[in-house]
């Protein structure tokens, strides 16, 4: 019972977890910063967006040596808001060796944003900068009937056609 409860809790909590929801956008690729090549991907949705930092060693670093801490800092390019810094957490999947650093970043509106990736390593901080745009995530509710219409029409035609076919086999 205890095990089942823990499974239920895990599933419930997981449902709240945000993975990359859609094809991420490439913001910058293989920019060398200190001992790493930095690639930055974004799901730049207004509301809850996220940034993923993929680090590959430039050759001077052994592959298993990770930075002490990774952060991302975002600020509208217009400077209408102060810069905010968010921690990026190392993500692993079960038994699978695909690590990357993942940060959830709230964006308030569609805008152009300056992004800084901060790689903390032995009291030294390497910084990579980039620029990206955010996009609206939600479909206008008025579009939903438009979406539903063709499915409703197909469904009705299907029901009509199925009712005509009584199910009795055609004799040959």
Partner 1 sequence: MSSPTAPNPEFDLLRVPVIGRFLSWRRARLVLQIPLFAIAFLMVAQGLTGSQLSPKNLATVLTWVHYRGALIVVLMVAGNFFCLGCPFVMVRDVARRFVKPKHNWPQRLQNKWLALGLFVLVLFCYELFDLWGSPLWTAVLILAYFVGALIIDTRFKHATFCKFVCPIGQFNFVASTLSPLEVKVRDLDVCSSCKTKDCIKSRQETTSTSSDIVFVQRGCELALFQPLKVGNLDCTFCLDCVHACPHENVGILARTPASELWNDQRRSGVGQLSKRNDFAALSAIFTFGALLNAFGMVSPVYAVETWLSRVLGITSETPILGLIFVLALVVEPMLLLGGAALATRQFTRTRGSLLTITTTFAPTLIPLGCGMWLAHYTFHLLTGLWTFIPVFQYAFQQWGMPILGAPNWSFGGIPVMLVKPLEWGFLALGVLGSLLVAHNIAKREHPTKTTVAFLPWAILSLILWFCALWLLSQPMEMRATLLSS
Binding residues vs partner 1 (CB under 8 A): 3, 6-7, 10-11, 13-15, 17-26, 29, 39, 41, 52, 54, 93-96, 98, 100, 135-139, 143-144, 147-148, 150-151, 154-155, 158-159, 161-162, 164-165, 167-170, 172
Let me know how long the chain is: 172
Return the number of the residue (19 or 81) whose C-beta is nearest partner 1.
19
Residue 121: φ, ψ to 5°: -150, 110
Q: Is 134 helix (H, G, I), strand (E, B) or coil?
A: coil
CB count within 10 Å of CB 95 equals 5
Q: DSSP label at 22?
A: S
CB count within 10 Å of CB 130 equals 17
Q: How far is the CB of 25 from partner 1 (least distance, A)?
A: 7
Q: Which two tokens stand for residue 79?
A: 């400077």
Return the number of the residue (3 or 79) whose C-beta is nearest partner 1.
3
CB count within 10 Å of CB 125 equals 14
Return the number of the residue (86 or 100) whose C-beta is nearest partner 1.
100
Contact (Cβ atoms closer than 8 angstroms) between residue 117 and residue 74: no
Q: How far is the CB of 33 from partner 1 (least distance, A)?
A: 18
Q: How far is the CB of 17 from partner 1 (least distance, A)?
A: 5
Q: How far is the CB of 64 from partner 1 (least distance, A)?
A: 18
Q: Is 19 helix (H, G, I), strand (E, B) or coil?
A: coil
Return the number of the residue (84 or 147) whose C-beta is nearest partner 1.
147
Return the number of the residue (122 or 138) whose C-beta is nearest partner 1.
138
């Amino acid at each position: 019972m205890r095990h089942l409860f823990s499974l239920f809790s895990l599933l419930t909590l997981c449902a709240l977890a945000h993975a990359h929801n859609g094809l991420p956008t490439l913001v910058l690729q293989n920019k060398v910063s200190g001992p790493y090549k930095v690639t930055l991907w974004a799901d730049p949705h207004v509301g809850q967006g996220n940034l993923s930092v993929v680090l590959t060693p430039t050759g001077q670093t052994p592959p298993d040596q990770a930075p002490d801490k990774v952060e991302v800092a975002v600020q509208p390019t217009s400077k209408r808001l102060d810069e905010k810094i968010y921690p990026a957490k190392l993500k692993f999947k079960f038994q699978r060796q695909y690590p990357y650093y993942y940060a959830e970043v709230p964006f308030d509106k569609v805008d152009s944003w300056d992004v800084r990736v901060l790689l903390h390593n032995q009291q030294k901080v390497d910084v990579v900068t980039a620029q990206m745009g955010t996009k609206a995530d939600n479909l206008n509710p008025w579009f939903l009937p438009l979406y539903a219409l063709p499915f409703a029409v197909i469904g009705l035609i299907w029901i009509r056609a199925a009712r005509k076919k009584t199910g009795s086999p055609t004799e040959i």
